[in-house]
Amino acid sequence: MTQITVGALQLAFSNDIDANIARVAEGVREAAGRGAQVVLPPELFEGEYFCRIEDEGLFAKAKPVGEHKAVLAMQALAEALKIWIPTSFFEADGPHHYNSLAMIGPDGEVAGVYRKSHIPDGPGYEEKFYFRPGNTGFKVWDGPAKASGGRTTLGVGVCWDQWYPETARAMMLMGAEVLFYPTAIGSEPHDTSLDTARLWRRAMVGHAVSNVVPIVAANRVGTEHGQTFYGTSFIADERGDILAELDREEEGVITATIDLDRVKRHRAAFGFFRDRRPDLYGRLVQDI
């Protein structure tokens, strides 16, 4: 049997980056203490979700991957705990800015950077003002070792990516065995009656079912300048059943252990990848 234990954090954040890093580090240590080998913090945990407004002064928060305080802190922590920490951060690359994720391994090194592919633009989520569409393509990484040999393959999408079935399927075709989604999502300022919490979860549970893959989703909570983030972070198995979850308000840590051998058997038995018809899918890569 090959198992992997994964964890997710759900926290509220302020604009004090040092305090935020300290709280994330505390949660990561708790998850690692429960046996988690991969621990997922929420998206852009370095501060409040600044994309609710357009303010050119906020570009100063972006840093290169090798200089970003959140990345450097998680590198030291990952090395100390010998775990993987997918770390979301606001990246500056010359004149360009990205919503990025550094995959940090147990050696404390950044194995690679993924830049968020799908960039939303709407009231309260005006990310196109700040971020270029990612130019890395979807990525997967080697994760914890398997008892049978080799390593677990980890796939990570960031927030708006999680709504696109193409993101999940692309990572699966690259060999992903567990999918991780750090996010920052909550109320819709233009329509206070719209609650997307159920839709948010259903979208990712759909990825779990149609790809026969476990999903780990980490959201933030709390109210920031009238915008309330609805948490409901969760870990689902390959059938979409919830293994661990948090509610709309609580801060905390969740962990779950996944039997990758069982997942592999279930995926083969469903036949979704056996019965694919790529010869019919050309329309999917054409403009509308």
Marked catalytic residue, from 127, 159, 224, 238:
159
- To the query of whether residue 177 is one of the catalytic residues in this protein, the response is no
Q: What is the pLDDT of residue 7?
A: 98
Beta strands in 126-184, from DSSP E residues, in sequence order = 140-145, 151-156, 178-182
For the question of residue 26 being annotated catalytic, the response is no
pLDDT at 147: 86
Residue-level pLDDT at 128: 98
Set 48, 91, 116, 238: catalytic member: 116
pLDDT for residue 86:
98
DSSP state of 285: G
Of 123, 204, 108, nearest in space to 157 by CA: 204
Indicate whether 145 pLDDT > 90: yes
Q: What is the pLDDT of residue 288?
A: 87
Length of the chain: 288
| Percent of the chain residues topping a pLDDT of 70 | 100
CB-based contact 90:46 (threshold 8 Å):
yes
Orientation of helix 165-173 relative to helix 197-211, angle to 10°: 30
Q: Whole-prediction pTM value?
A: 0.97
51 flagged as catalytic: no
pLDDT(1) > 80: no
pLDDT above 90 (res 192): no
